[in-house]
Amino acid sequence: MLAVNGIDAALVRSLTEIVGEPHVFTAPDQRRTYEVDWTGRFVGSTRAVVRPGSLDEVVAVVVLCRSAGIAIVAQGGNTGLVGGGVPLAGELVVSLRRLDRIGPVDAVARQVTAGAGVTVAALQQVAAAAGLRYAIDFGARDSATVGGTIATNAGGVNVLRYGGTREQLLGVEAVLGTGDVVSRLGGLVKDNTGYDLASLLCGSEGTLGLVTAARLRLVTMHEQRLTALIGFSSISDAVDAVGVWRSSLDCLDAAELMLDAGMRLVCAAFGLPPPLQRHWPAYVLIEVAAHDDPTALVTAAVGGVATVREVAVAIDSVRRAQLWRYREEHTLAVGTVGVPHKFDVTVPISELAVFVRDVPGRVARVVPDATTWQFGHVGDGNIHVNVTGTPPWANGRGGYIDDGGLDEQIYRYVSELGGSISAEHGIGTAKAGWLHLNRSAAEIAAMRAVKRALDPDGIMNPNALLPPVT
């Protein structure tokens, strides 16, 4: 939003007429938390944050912005990690947090309708109260919203069993960049009537429209859960073991990789005792969920892998949560060291151990003083590479960050290995310039054509996902 003050005043008046004064934030202290991502790496500014409370208000905001040529960045819980949800080029922030209604659970169809502003944790609680489960889960569950998870096609820890957000989506209600509303919340499981707009909007990172509500699939709530944290002498032993358990344990819900340095950091940052008697170069946390007690099954599966060095097992929820802390606190622990430069990538399982081994050396080639932390969802090949100790690189055009060649090191390596530069966090502004490594010129042209059709004036998150036309 590049308008001068007088025009801003008119805009604020119009926004206030739509949503009411309490829901337009213009004061710096009101705007601040919306202008920076939670890692502190992406810092922007906006003249206003608008918080619509209904579909009609979202439509009116989009129509107003379209007629005034004002760019929009949608925001939910602001837990994004790729600079896709903060106003890096002065966009108007449209916070969808007030769209927080959850409809009744249809326990027979196993579905629920949730507003974009519903948190993942709130949705999980409603599902659990109905004896069901929402399959998307990750550490930021208390803040991340349904709308944000759809925008990024978020994954998390249960993807290997249930798929990512797109797989949970039966339909959406959304306001396109044209101001038109598309709505398909009927929950038909089989519905082959043309283009699947819900799938298209999922992962579109707010570049085509604003998702206001979604019809979501719920899954079985298994009564029996077992979590095990297992130590290995090497990364490749850990990765190979997960390959074995993926086929021997049908009830495997999660398989997460951690390394010694990250484990020590988590213990130090949160005052936790080491989880096992000894420290190990690599750890895998597995969780299984079944109707019957899975202990015998897991004991046989874990015992059948000769490279397993040490195991801690938990069945009760308190102890299981304690084991999960070692994994989930990695993100916050890394944040205590410095502002992380995050890489969320997938590589083929066959290349994963080599990738994890080689990445610190590749980082050191361009930023010798940096520290590399790796952890992630080894069950689906998704590794989170976090780099701290980098110089304070400045934001560039449209939020792009000059990073001293670090992106190039990592993304070209991922690409050489046949991987993806974005597994579950999205492209945002951080990776738009690297999209060509994963998408052909024809694919990017098709994406641009879709964007032009649904967002003809280019107001929807214009600096995210697609690279600038040069």
CB of 345 to ligand MLT, least distance (A): 11
Paired with 288 in beta bridges are 226, 252
Closest of 23, 211, 241, 252 to residue 117, by C-alpha: 211
Residue type, 423: A
Q: Which two tokens stand for residue 134?
A: 């929402």
CB of 64 to ligand MLT, least distance (A): 35
- Decide whether 212 or 374 has the Cβ nearer to ligand MLT: 374
Describe the strand order of the beta sheet including 181-183 as a list of residue ranges: 111-115, 209-217, 169-176, 181-183
Q: Could you give the CA distance from residue 437 to residue 413 in angstroms, rounded to a whole number?
A: 10
The number of angstroms, rounded, from the C-alpha of 37 to the middle of its chain's C-alpha atoms is: 13
- Decide whether 197 or 385 has the Cβ nearer to ligand MLT: 385
- Decide whether 110 or 342 has the Cβ nearer to ligand MLT: 342
- Decide whether 297 or 339 has the Cβ nearer to ligand MLT: 339
- Decide whether 133 or 330 has the Cβ nearer to ligand MLT: 330
| Angle between helices 349-366 and 235-248 in degrees, nearest 10 | 150
Q: Nearest residue to ligand MLT, using CB?
A: 331
- Decide whether 126 or 136 has the Cβ nearer to ligand MLT: 136
- Decide whether 47 or 327 has the Cβ nearer to ligand MLT: 327
Q: Could you give the CA distance from residue 309 to residue 274 in angstroms, rounded to a whole number?
A: 15
412: enclosing H helix or E strand = helix 406-416
CB of 334 to ligand MLT, least distance (A): 7
Q: Which two tokens stand for residue 423?
A: 């597994």
- Decide whether 25 or 38 has the Cβ nearer to ligand MLT: 38
DSSP string covering 67-129: HHT--EEEESSS--SSSSSS-TTSPEEEE-TT---B---BTTTTEEEEETT-BHHHHHHHHHH
CB of 265 to ligand MLT, least distance (A): 13
Q: Could you give the CA distance from residue 458 to residue 465 in angstroms, rounded to a whole number?
A: 13
CB of 443 to ligand MLT, least distance (A): 25
- Decide whether 52 or 340 has the Cβ nearer to ligand MLT: 340
Q: Which ranges of 36-107 does DSSP label H, i.e. alpha helix?
A: 55-68
Q: Which two tokens stand for residue 92?
A: 């108007």
CB of 213 to ligand MLT, least distance (A): 24
Residue type, 277: Q
Q: Which two tokens stand for residue 354?
A: 């080599």
DSSP string covering 395-408: B-GGG-B--TTHHH
Check if the beta carbon of residue 207 is closer than 8 Å to that of residue 455: yes
- Please state, as a whole number, how many other Cβ atoms lie within 10 Å of the Cβ of residue 380: 22
Q: Could you give the CA distance from residue 133 to residue 222 in angstroms, rounded to a whole number?
A: 9
Q: Which two tokens stand for residue 280?
A: 């190990």
CB of 240 to ligand MLT, least distance (A): 22
CB of 386 to ligand MLT, least distance (A): 7
- Decide whether 66 or 327 has the Cβ nearer to ligand MLT: 327
CB of 269 to ligand MLT, least distance (A): 14
Binding site for ligand MLT (CB under 6 A): 138-139, 330-331, 342, 344, 384
CB of 244 to ligand MLT, least distance (A): 23
SS3 of 126-159:
HHHHCCEECCCECCCCCCCEHHHHHHHCCCECCH
